[in-house]
Amino acid sequence: MTKKVALFIADGSEEVEAITPVDLLRRAKIDVDVVSVMESRTVTASRGVVITADMKIDEIVFDDYDMLILPGGVKGTNNLNDCDKLKDNIRKFNDQGKGIAAICAAPTVFSGMGILGGKNATCNPGFWDKLTEGGAILDKDSKAVTCGNIITSQAMGTSVDFGLAIVSYLAGEEAAAELKSNIRF
């Protein structure tokens, strides 16, 4: 059965952190819906790039998804954090052991919700204190950290690692290794 994920974007989301996981997941034949939490499907990302989502949050059925993904960007993270419907479903997914993933500033959404307590996690170094305040066991050295059903990653420069960690979680290590071998740096 094909896995399906929802990646949420908002005004101020970091472009590379949003698009790179989508690209890698689609290469791995994992269905991805890009979902706006704003009033419009079109958002303006952190560097002025305009991104059009596949749908808005009110148009999706959360039970259809295997994982929820949050890109960073300070303004984007704040907008995601202000979306109660998203946070209610993040909590539901976590309680059910379903996948949740966040990169850069976005793991602070998880931390602020209290779901990183006692979990290994990472984020942008500028927000490490927010993770430890939420009880996370901070991993400063890893580009992407998988702890049970939760994947976190550091920043824009770790977007490929983040995407590959998600592929590994959803499709297995072999699929992630094959995908990585086809990417040239």
pLDDT tens for each residue of 21-41 = 999 999 999 999 999 999 999
pLDDT tens-digit profile of 45-56? 999 999 999 999
Q: How confident is the model at residue 183 (pLDDT cuts 50, 70, 90)?
A: confident
**What does the pLDDT average to over 144-163?**
98
Distance CA 157, CA 167 (A): 18
Q: Are strands 137-138 and 120-121 parallel, antiparallel or unpaired?
A: parallel
Distance CA 10, CA 8 (A): 7
Report pTM.
0.97
pLDDT at 39: 97
3-state DSSP assignment of residue 78: helix
Residue position matching structure tokens 């072999």: 174
**What does the pLDDT average to over 166-173?**
97
DSSP one-letter string for 162-177: HHHHHHHHHH-HHHHH
Which residue among the candidates 83, 104, 123, 147 is catalytic per the annotation? 104
Distance CA 24, CA 1 (A): 18
Q: Is the per-residue pLDDT at 2 higher than 90? A: no
**What does the pLDDT average to over 134-149?**
97
- Homologous superfamily in CATH for domain 4-105+159-177: Class I glutamine amidotransferase (GATase) domain (3.40.50.880)
How far is residue 38 from each of residues 44, 77, 85, 96, 134, measured CA to CA in Å?
10, 12, 12, 26, 27
Contacts of 163 (CB under 8 A, 6+ apart): 20, 21, 23, 24, 25
Ordered by start, the domain boundaries in the chain are 4-105+159-177
Distance CA 116, CA 102 (A): 12
Angle at the Cα of 3 from the Cα atoms of 107 and 40, rounded to 5 degrees: 60
Is 123 catalytic? The answer is no
pLDDT at 185: 63
DSSP one-letter string for 129-146: HHHHHTT-EE-SS-SEEE
